[in-house]
Amino acid sequence: MSDNIQTSLSRLIETYFKEVISNHSYPSFYLFVKENKEKLIDFLKIESRFFDMDNFLFLCSKYVGEGQYSYLFGGEEDSSHLIDEKEYIVFEFDKAQDDPVALSILMLMGSQAVKKLVWENKSVPGVIFYDELAKFIKYKSIRDTVVFFYQAIRKQNAAVGSSLQSPAQLPIGDDTNAMIDNTQVVYVLFNEKGYAPLVERFNLSEHQHNILKSLTSIRDGDKNYTEFALIIGSEIWPLRLELPPEVLKLYQTDGAEYEEIMQLYEKYGNMEKTIKEHMKHY
């Protein structure tokens, strides 16, 4: 965004808040600018060569009225206070992952929640975690937000983390390199394809690579377990996770077994009973 456009928008927003006393919202701002366009241009001395008011209103129209994204600003009641007392908040972005505009707006809303709960209250440690980050980090607007939190979060008595299936899902660039530089702890799950890309991207030592290659996973024996590595700086620890069969079923998230469990859950409405019934067939 150029300085001219930014200055023009700042003047419009400042005037809106001065003239409209209450019930502020994006649709209200749009309507205010539309109804007072000519007066605003003269009063704020906005020259068309610097800021095209008609084009601005046209681009913004998809967020109001019958526009494509009007549903994002349709609520009249301010419900932001509902997050104040929450200890755990999940933002689900999957349905917007192929729409950069909707995704950017949702990410902005999530970032505002983080700043409200973490930035404004440093007395309570906070954690931000981006699950399946590869779906979203391909968009620069999202990547900029994620990188910002990686660089600034420690000053807020908080932590940030993300999950990736492979280092290849992290775009090459100075911004993502900054993420790696600010990553203090790395969890590496067992991977039968090897760990060479991870070793190269995170600049791991030969010793750390050898430890990674020693990891194993058994899912068909009497004792099912999986091993993973915990890396902190130059240190590395191989760890083993072994869970009861009932717990493994509880964490099924895909495949035929998951479908069977969910069908039973629809029948019983109780996950403990569902797992017990499913165990009878295995």
Q: Considering only 82-91, 166-175, 241-250, which range has the smallest mean pLDDT?
A: 82-91
Average pLDDT, the chain: 85
Summarised one tens digit per residue, pLDDT across range 74-90 is 665 655 666 666 777 88
The mean per-residue pLDDT over the stretch 162-182 comes to 90
Summarised one tens digit per residue, pLDDT across range 138-161 is 888 888 888 998 988 888 888 999
Beta-bridged to residue 260, according to DSSP, are none
Q: Considering only 93-97, 104-108, 115-119, 244-248, which range has the smallest mean pLDDT?
A: 93-97
| Rounded CA separation 174/170 (Å) | 11
pLDDT band, very low/low/confident/very high, at 25 (cuts 50, 70, 90):
confident
Measured distance between the N- and C-terminal CA atoms of the chain, rounded to whole angstroms = 60
Token pair in block for residue 193: 């394809």
Q: What was the pLDDT predicted at 205?
A: 94
Question: What is the reported pTM?
Answer: 0.70
